[in-house]
Amino acid sequence: MNYPVWEPPMLGGGLIIGIIAILHVFVSHFAVGGGLFLPLTERKAYRENDAALLDYVKSHSKFFVLVVLVFGAVSGVGIWWTIGLVNPEATATLIHVFVWGWAIEWVFFFVEIAAAFIYYYGWNRLDPQTHLIVGWIYFAGAWLSLLVINGILAFMLTPGHWIESPSFWTAFFNPSMLPSCIVRTAVSVALAGVYGLVTASTLRDIALRTEVVRYAAKWVLVGTLIIPLAGLWYISTLPPLAREISMGAAPAVTIFAALSIFFSVLVVTFTYFGPYQHPRYFNLTFAFLIAVLALSTTGVTEWVREAVRKPYIVYGYMYANTLRVEDMSRVRQEGILKSAKFVHDHEVNPDERLVSGEDVFRVECASCHTVDGYNSMRFAVKGWSQPMIEYQLLHLNELKGFMPPFVGTEAERQALRDWLASLNPQPATREPADSGVQAVAPAASSGASKP
């Protein structure tokens, strides 16, 4: 309530975060898995005295540095920029809870960046043993960075005992931290294979291409074998409502959860029967197909992970609209407008009820909804009467368990009701047109009938 509301038109802040985050996750996990792929493949080339394979590792390291250090770094900054604008209160909470975690993660990130540059520019400058050590230093920094970030992200869904006894350690070692770390590490291994398939498919030497394609396919299959096993453990640690949302309570989320499994099966099937069984005939088009399927899997899985956290942004502590659970009683009594700094009036203005209603919407709803566009409110309330809107607001969290309850005074609720109703104004009732013809009464008889 202490920050202004950023309202990007049409897309909404939540969707912008989602787009940037999905692309970043697809690259950042490659930064970890690829950091393991490089030294292991380099060691394989030295052990087998395979100069052609070593040349491939050199070319792959250039691709790795460009993708990870350019797009990965820029998209990481993009995430900080968007979450700071869309949900500054939640971002501030994560910074305060994990201040030392962020500090050590930045150290790991610095080590990661420095080692990646030294590794790439160290070809033909460092002796093989030293060069391999630099590669292992990079992987250590990358995986430790994943470990810290994973603990923070897991905390948002399963804060565990932190709510009762807040400390860094209870927040970090939360119920889903370890299983989600294993899942993310396995995803990193699989994505290292996916990116390896892309670069291997461009090799002109048929024998080398066949060898590397099959080798990269093994990375995909090993990673995807671990994911469902650790995933079941991860699901068992989730709050009951979060599991229910993904298993039928919210149909859209259930569909996306099913798509996650479907795309994963396609990745495994195409990889096994394509590059693993027939590496000689593998090409760049097939590699891009697998990469698109892997990106699709990443996208729907991340969307589900975010969706099952609703109605919270930090489960059991802060709702998606940044209202803290502990403040609900006070805000319900005092009013949401009085608690917000960036509104036109701090109580409902009888002369500007619609303006006050829009302010209530911006404070309580705009973190997830837009007026027109993604998750549009105009579309959501289309055809609803004012009594229907009123009923929905009164029982919001009961009718839709993934939404926060409405919090505010009766006047604020009615102002929001009126503003929502105004989004789809009813057509004015038309009076029948005056035709200009006046009804004429039957003429009276001029007299009694004569016998």
What residue type is 30 in one-letter code? F
Cα–Cα distances in Å, from 283 out to 66, 118, 213?
A: 22, 31, 9
**Burial (CB count within 10 angstroms: exposed 0-12, middle 13-18, buried 19+), residue 90:** buried
Biggest alpha carbon–alpha carbon distance for the chain: 140
The alpha helices in 8-161, defined as continuous H runs, are 12-47, 51-66, 73-86, 88-97, 99-121, 128-157
Rounded-to-integer distance, Cα 196 and Cα 207, Å: 16
pLDDT in tens, 315-367: 999 999 889 999 999 999 999 999 888 888 889 988 899 999 999 999 999 88
Domains, the chain, in order of start with CATH, read: 12-319 (1.20.1630), 326-448 (1.10.760)
pLDDT above 80: residue 451: no
pLDDT band at 9 (very low <50, low <70, confident <90, very high): confident
Q: What is the mean pLDDT of the chain?
A: 91
pLDDT above 70: percentage of residues in the chain: 94
pLDDT in tens, 142-172: 999 999 999 999 999 999 999 999 999 999 9
What residue type is 292 in one-letter code? V
Cα–Cα distances in Å, from 118 out to 53, 106, 123, 125, 315?
A: 20, 18, 9, 10, 41
Rounded-to-integer distance, Cα 330 and Cα 334, Å: 6
pLDDT above 90: residue 185: yes
* Closest alpha carbon to 401 in 240, 164, 174, 236: 240
Average pLDDT rounded to a whole number, residues 412-439: 73
| Residue 333 CA from chain centroid, whole number | 33
Phi–psi pair at 87, nearest 5 degrees: -135, 65
pLDDT in tens, 368-404: 899 999 889 999 999 999 999 999 999 998 888 889 9
> Can you give the pLDDT at residue 401?
81
pLDDT above 90: percentage of residues in the chain: 80
pLDDT in tens, 106-116: 999 999 999 99
pLDDT band at 443 (very low <50, low <70, confident <90, very high): very low
Q: Strand pairing partners for 376?
A: 370
Comparison of pLDDT for 146 and 446, the residue scoring more = 146
Cα–Cα distances in Å, from 49 out to 40, 46, 52, 55, 127?
A: 14, 5, 9, 12, 15
pLDDT band at 1 (very low <50, low <70, confident <90, very high): low
The alpha helices in 370-427, defined as continuous H runs, are 377-380, 386-394, 396-399, 410-422
Model pTM score: 0.88
> Can you give the pLDDT at residue 438?
46
* Closest alpha carbon to 203 in 47, 55, 49, 338: 55
Measured CA angle at 407 (ends 372, 239), to 5 deg: 90
pLDDT above 50: residue 180: yes
Rounded-to-integer distance, Cα 327 and Cα 363, Å: 15
Q: 3-state DSSP: the chain helix, strand, coil percent, rounded to 5?
A: 70, 0, 25
Contact 184, 233 (CB under 8 A): no
DSSP label of 351: G
Phi–psi pair at 140, nearest 5 degrees: -60, -45
pLDDT band at 432 (very low <50, low <70, confident <90, very high): low
Tokens, residue 195: 């990116």
What residue type is 197 in one-letter code? L
